[in-house]
A and B are shown apart, each in its own frame.
Chain A
């Protein structure tokens, strides 16, 4: 039983570690802001959720202490991580950050220009 608990904890911690390191490498290597926001929001959210669930299992199975605060933290990070990435990339598009030059299509540009023409803003 102890070995099984250890395997569960170590598996979740290693999975979270892999996702977080991959997210950091993605922020280093990807060419523009939107791809970086993609890497940062999804991959690091999944990684921190895996690590927190490993820690939750450690305190539950090894030290017999059920901690609902960690579960609340997992839920909160699951809700707010992608929302933060979305709001940040939307704000930077409206502030005029250009996508990578190799981008093939930009659907939002048409919509933004139509909206500006309707509201009469230059």
Chain B
């Protein structure tokens, strides 16, 4: 019964990622696509957690934290690019 629920969860994550890919492709503006990609990262974290239950291994649990950090850094860099046009500013260069 628990295996069935885990399979249903993985299937629904796939459906959610497909819906979000529609938003990535058809989103009218650039921030729409960035937000949808951030949410795809969240879905991947949950899918890795579910898969590590299904395979009964502890080896994938570090990937959760790493994906979270990478997704956050990507969102911050993208929003700085959208707001100012540069990502890393130099001092005295305005």
Question: Considering the chains assembled together, what is the distance between the CA atoms of A6 and B5 in angstroms?
Answer: 11
Q: Identify the closest chain B residue to A52 (Cβ).
A: B49
Contact: B72 with A20, CB < 8 Å?
no
Q: Does A27 reach chain B (CB closer than 8 Å)?
A: yes
Count A-B pairs with CB separation below 8 Å: 146
Where the two chains meet, the residues of B that have a C-beta atom closer than 8 Å to any C-beta of A are 2, 5-6, 8-9, 12-13, 15-17, 19-20, 22-23, 29-32, 34-36, 38-39, 42-43, 45-46, 49-50, 52-53, 56, 58, 61-62, 64-65, 68-69, 71-72, 75-76, 78-80, 82-83
Q: Which residues of A contact B (CB under 8 A)?
A: 6, 9-10, 13-14, 16-17, 20-21, 23-25, 27-28, 33, 36-37, 40, 44-45, 47-48, 51-52, 55, 58-59, 63, 65, 67, 69-70, 72-73, 76-77, 80-81, 83-85, 87-92, 94-95, 97
